[in-house]
A and B are shown apart, each in its own frame.
Chain A
Amino acid sequence: MVSSTLARILPPEPEAPPAPPVLAVSSLAKTFGERAVLRDVSLVAYRGEVTALIGANGTGKSTLLRALVRLVEPDSGRVMMLGQDVRTLDRAALKAFRSRVGFVFQKHNLVGRLSVLTNVVHGVQARMSGPRSWHHALAPAAIREEAMACLAAVGLADRALQRADSLSGGQSQRVAIARMLMQRPEFVLADEPDASLDPRAGRELMELLYRLAHDKGLVMISHRMEHTLRFSDRIIGLAGGIVALALETRHAHADQLKAFFDRPAGFSHAEDESPYG
């Protein structure tokens, strides 16, 4: 082949063209009643990178994350994600799109009365429907094995048949991550996955999430500065409904982030909470 021959002769390009962003948000806005939570938010995120969203309570981080998969319908602006113009998708297309995006919730959102394994099997509903995806006892052998592998990846294979509501907060969040893996997502969003965990469980969870989701690309919200600095490649700070801070994590300092949170009120309002924190 000509191209491969050329590739062998010619020296590699000095600077590879940057990969297109997997997520590009432009001028996104969302108002709840009188309150403009998001006014004009634009940002990009890349595959293989972790983007941390930071900001005081009520600055719209959760609203932004939810708007990306239309759990909240934005009022205006554009979301391009995984090559799709998200806001133009109809019901069926939205369902198909959502199945490609993993979402880790602050409150793990497991079905407490069901077993850990069944909760993980539910992740397969991204690509299959019907009774075989409802319960591990009904699932085909291949799916049960895959679910067990996902549970092993989060270190909870020995808890497969335990009821989900018998787990600790950290374990529950790990099961939620296993369910997300079962989904085989191409990109991952995480809304304060470390919020309700003690420092050690929180750190372990972030290490796990980083290890499992880093390659795909991850946008996460965390209120823990040490997690933001340790587990992200880029930091985006929201304040007053816009992106007020954007920098690479390797150039960021704890003092700088602290200063961002401490800036005078009026710019970065920490007023009443948005409906989604």
Chain B
Amino acid sequence: MADLTAPMRWERPNALSFTIGVVVFAFVIWSFSSVGLSLERIVRGIPALGSMLERMFPPDIERLPRILEQLLITFQMALVGCILGLVLAFPISVLAAEGLSPHPVLKHAARALIALFRTVPDLVWALLFVIAVGLGPAAGVMAIMVDKIGFAGRFFAEAMEEADKGPQEALATIGATRTGLIFSAVVPLALPSFVATSLFSLEKAVRGSVILGLVGAGGIGVELKVAFDLFNYDTAATIILTIFALVIAVEQASNVIRRRLI
């Protein structure tokens, strides 16, 4: 006769997982106390925030032409960095993709490069490139490019690895070269994913490029920093609103493109 007693509701945790659970829980509690976040401080901060908001409005549009000019440069920086990054991400992702990489050594090297580019934040890359190529948009473009290689490289490689193997096998059986196989079967199948990743990269690049100016890598970020440093909160408000408009516009445009192409 089979045992008809219902099984236990919960599995009893073993000593190891119980210990890990306790340690993680303790760490989380400790983290909360470490960061000095308290309701009291937040409440005390509200008037300061209020007075800043008060000084922000109405926004000062006197410097609007200069701000728009810088905003355009910011967008151009994002666009160029993103395009360069995507173009370079493609060959690197082919080298990194399982089944497409010509050699295991190349595969591991490409994966390591992508991981490095992805894990180091773009702000850090910007700091490095400001030192290397000097202040200005060129450093920002380089930082965005490297960041996008890391971001898109990984997703391009995954999209190609997931592409249907059938057509690839058919082309291999025809006697196609590896390049022929990639461009005839893999890329067409992975294209929707490529487009989605590219558009998302651009959105991310536009948002990121705003921050890069803070460390001197060109664009509107510099204006924003100066405005805050000089307590010109009304100018800062104009800058923030234009950034907001730009990011929304890019996201909407990329949504339209996504719907059309995919």
Q: Is B170 an interface residue (CB 8 A)?
A: yes
Shortest beta-carbon distance from A109 to chain B in Å: 4
Taking a contact as CB atoms under 8 Å apart, the answer to whether A129 and B177 are in contact is: yes
Contact size class for A?
20 to 34
Taking a contact as CB atoms under 8 Å apart, the answer to whether B184 and A98 are in contact is: no
Taking a contact as CB atoms under 8 Å apart, the answer to whether B179 and A129 are in contact is: yes
A96 vs B185: C-alpha distance when bound (angstroms): 20
A176 vs B179: C-alpha distance when bound (angstroms): 21
Q: Which of B137-181 contact A (CB under 8 A)?
A: 164, 166-167, 169-177, 179-180
Contact of A125 among B164, B166, B167, B175 (CB under 8 A): B175
A101 vs B173: C-alpha distance when bound (angstroms): 8
Residue of B nearest to A123 (CB): B174
Taking a contact as CB atoms under 8 Å apart, the answer to whether A107 and B184 are in contact is: no
List B contacts of A69 (CB < 8 A). Answer: 173
Task: Answer whether A134 and B166 are a contact pair too, CB < 8 Å, given A111-B188, A111-B189, A122-B171.
Answer: no
The main secondary structure of chain A at its interface with chain B is loop
List A contacts of B166 (CB < 8 A). Answer: 105, 107, 109
Taking a contact as CB atoms under 8 Å apart, the answer to whether B172 and A98 are in contact is: yes
Residue in B170, B180, B184, B189 with the greatest tally of chain A CB atoms within 10 Å: B170
Q: Is A270 an interface residue (CB 8 A)?
A: no
Taking a contact as CB atoms under 8 Å apart, the answer to whether A111 and B184 are in contact is: yes
A110 vs B170: C-alpha distance when bound (angstroms): 8
List A contacts of B172 (CB < 8 A). Answer: 71, 98
List A contacts of B183 (CB < 8 A). Answer: 131, 134
Task: Answer whether A95 and B170 are a contact pair too, CB < 8 Å, given A113-B191, A125-B184.
Answer: no
List B contacts of A62 (CB < 8 A). Answer: none
Taking a contact as CB atoms under 8 Å apart, the answer to whether B167 and A109 are in contact is: yes
A129 vs B177: C-alpha distance when bound (angstroms): 7
Listed in ascending order, the chain A residues whose CB lies under 8 Å from chain B are 69, 71, 95-101, 103, 105, 107, 109-114, 122-123, 125-126, 129-131, 133-135, 176, 179, 183
24 pairs from A and B in contact (CB 8 Å cutoff): A71-B173, A95-B175, A98-B175, A101-B173, A105-B169, A110-B167, A110-B170, A111-B167, A111-B184, A112-B189, A114-B188, A122-B184, A123-B174, A125-B175, A125-B176, A126-B174, A126-B176, A129-B179, A133-B180, A133-B184, A134-B183, A134-B184, A179-B170, A183-B174
Which 8 residue pairs spanning A and B have beta carbons closest together? A99-B175, A109-B170, A109-B166, A125-B176, A98-B175, A103-B173, A111-B167, A134-B183
